[in-house]
Amino acid sequence: MVEVQVLREVVSSESPRDDLIRRERFPHIWCPGCGLGTVLKCYVEAIASSDIPRDKHVIVSGIGCSGRMAGYVNIDSYHVTHGRPIAFAEGMKIVRPDLEVTVISGDGDLVTIGGNHFIHAIRRNVDINVFLVNNFIYGMTGNQYGSTTPLGARSSTSPYGCPEYPFNLPLLAAALGAPFVARWTTLHVRQLAEAMKKAMKVKGFAFIEIISPCPVGFGSYNEMREGMDFIKFFLENCIVDHNADLNKVAISMRPGDPIILGNFVEREAPTYHDLEREVFRKAGWLK
Amino acid sequence: MNSISLKFVREPINKHLQKIPLGIIHVIPERCKECNYCIELCPRDVLKVGEERNFKGYRWPVIADGKALDCIACKMCEWICPEFAIFVKEVDRTEWIKS
């Protein structure tokens, strides 16, 4: 009887992480091969292995495919207006410093429409975690090119190649003084979950750029029609270098040009909360 | 055991103490979207595309012929699966085979 069981896979109805996801909403709406599910998996594993109790975790997400993320995690979750999840999270963290506030959203939401919030939140060094899922395109609105589309990449609004340079997000975040800056792909699942765990411990703004496959959006215009095409691209072109020169980590998504990954910046800096308390103390509002 | 590449490697003296774990693969067919990540990224090629289809028309992964004892519970399929549709339970290999 046991031998028969081991020769076949066991058909089950619930997974061991079903306590942290809203299982009645599964299967989720993301396309087959989308990396967002893997990001969700890594985030859930990071929550489960972090020392912070589950009811102290909060997730905020904006608009876009990745905006659905908040709806699938079984913790306090907020789905806010376009481009504003960082602004919302900043406010929440300032009012309730005991919470572990995490923003998971897309590139279009966080650095294109909400670019200013992103810059100023890092400048203030508010103690939130921002996990940016970069799929190089505005996926949900119809595959237009955005601020992270690599130079020359095709999209529905750039059929002959994108004429703009993309953001180099780790350099931007490090230049503004973020205490933790990392970049991983959805293929590097264990490293990504470890980086997320580190980001939750970091005092101050923790930023992880997650390179995600988008076979239906970016891929269909750039000869990567299956999720596996992206994964093979990552397997061939990714280099892990924690001490990389951040001036040279921009992504071109051309075969042969490496995607450099790693935990680039790990440093300590006083957070907005500490500095604000200091001002309050000077003013005599706090003892 | 597959030992093609091990031919040229010296055998460790404590090899008899090393235990290779065995993973029992569990699948949730309703959640699968046939992205093939688990099948392609399995280092021991344990999985293959199944023949049955779920209510959305996707074929979920099944264990390939004769590969049932090849799973070493590295859990790559569990980690990469975007749908929480596959997971591996680790058991003691020798005790499992005995029973």
In a domain, B15, yes or no: no
Spell out the per-residue pLDDT of chain A, length 287, in tens: 455 445 678 888 888 888 999 989 888 999 999 999 999 999 999 999 999 999 999 999 999 999 999 999 999 999 999 999 999 999 999 999 999 999 999 999 999 999 999 999 999 999 999 999 999 999 889 999 999 999 999 999 999 999 999 999 999 999 999 999 999 999 999 999 999 999 999 999 999 999 999 999 999 999 999 999 999 999 999 999 999 999 999 999 888 899 999 999 999 999 999 999 999 999 999 87
Kind and range of the H or E element at B37? Answer: helix B37-41
Q: Report the 10 Å Cβ neighbour count for B76.
A: 18
Q: Do B87 and A12 touch (CB under 8 A)?
A: yes
Collapse the DSSP code of B23 into the 3-class scheme (helix H, G, I; strand E, B; otherwise coil) and give the result. Answer: strand
Q: Which residue of A has its CA nearest to B78?
A: A41
In a domain, A15, yes or no: no
In a domain, B12, yes or no: no
Among the partner residues A16, A31, A35, nearest to B87 by beta-carbon distance: A16
Q: What is the rounded CA–CA span in Å between residue A209 and residue A204?
A: 16
What local confidence, expressed as pLDDT, does residue A4 receive?
A: 47
Q: Which residues does residue A138 pair with via DSSP β-bridges, in sequence order?
A: A144
> If contacts are CB pairs under 8 Å, which of residues 55-84 in chain B contact chain A?
56, 58, 61-63, 68-69, 76, 79-84
Q: Do B31 and A13 touch (CB under 8 A)?
A: no
In a domain, A266, yes or no: yes
In a domain, A16, yes or no: no
Q: Do A32 and B61 touch (CB under 8 A)?
A: no
DSSP collapsed to 3 states, chain A:
CHHHHHHCCEECCCCCCCCCECHHHCCCCCCCCCCHHHHHHHHHHHHHHCCCCHHHEEEEECCCHHHHHHHHECCEEEECCCCCHHHHHHHHHHHCCCCEEEEEEEHHHHHHHCHHHHHHHHHHCCCCEEEEEECCCECCCCCECCCCCCCCCCECCECCCCCCCCCCHHHHHHHCCCCEEEEEECCCHHHHHHHHHHHHHCCCCEEEEEECCCCCCHHHHCCCCCHHHHHHHHHHHEEECCCCCHHHCCCCCCCCCCEEEEEEEECCCCCHHHHHHHHHHHHCCCC
Could you tell me the residue range of the domain that residue B53 belongs to? 20-98
Put simply, whether B46 touches A (Cβ < 8 Å) is: no
What local confidence, expressed as pLDDT, does residue A1 receive?
A: 45
In a domain, A20, yes or no: no
Q: Do A34 and B68 touch (CB under 8 A)?
A: no
Residue A283 one-letter amino acid: A
Put simply, whether A10 touches B (Cβ < 8 Å) is: yes
What local confidence, expressed as pLDDT, does residue B6 receive?
A: 57
When pLDDT is cut at 50, 70 and 90, the band that residue B21 belongs to is confident
Could you tell me the residue range of the domain that residue A72 belongs to? 25-283
In a domain, A110, yes or no: yes
Residues of chain A contacting B79 with CB distance shorter than 8 Å: 38, 41-42, 45, 189-190, 193
Residue B11, pLDDT above cutoff 90: no
Domain count, chain A: 1
What local confidence, expressed as pLDDT, does residue B1 receive?
A: 46
pLDDT digits (tens, 9 = 90+) for B33-89: 999 999 999 999 999 999 999 999 999 999 998 888 888 999 999 999 999 999 999
Residue B2, pLDDT above cutoff 60: no
Q: For position B84, which CATH number holds?
A: 3.30.70.20
In a domain, B36, yes or no: yes
Q: Which residue of A has its CA nearest to B58?
A: A32
Put simply, whether A226 touches B (Cβ < 8 Å) is: yes
Take residue A77 and report the two structure tokens written for it.
């979750």
Residues of chain B contacting A228 with CB distance shorter than 8 Å: 35-37, 40
Among the partner residues A9, A26, A37, nearest to B25 by beta-carbon distance: A9
Q: For position A212, which CATH number holds?
A: 3.40.50.970
What local confidence, expressed as pLDDT, does residue B9 receive?
A: 73
Domain count, chain B: 1
Q: Do A42 and B63 touch (CB under 8 A)?
A: no
In a domain, A12, yes or no: no
Q: What is the ipTM of this complex?
A: 0.88
Kind and range of the H or E element at B87? Answer: strand B86-91
Q: Which residue of B has its CA nearest to A29?
A: B83
Q: pTM score > 0.90 for this model? A: yes
What local confidence, expressed as pLDDT, does residue A103 receive?
A: 96
Among the partner residues A10, A26, A30, nearest to B25 by beta-carbon distance: A10
- C-alpha pair distances (Å), B57 with each of A99, B26, B29: 42, 20, 11
In a domain, B13, yes or no: no
Q: What is the rounded CA–CA span in Å between residue A64 and residue A146?
A: 13
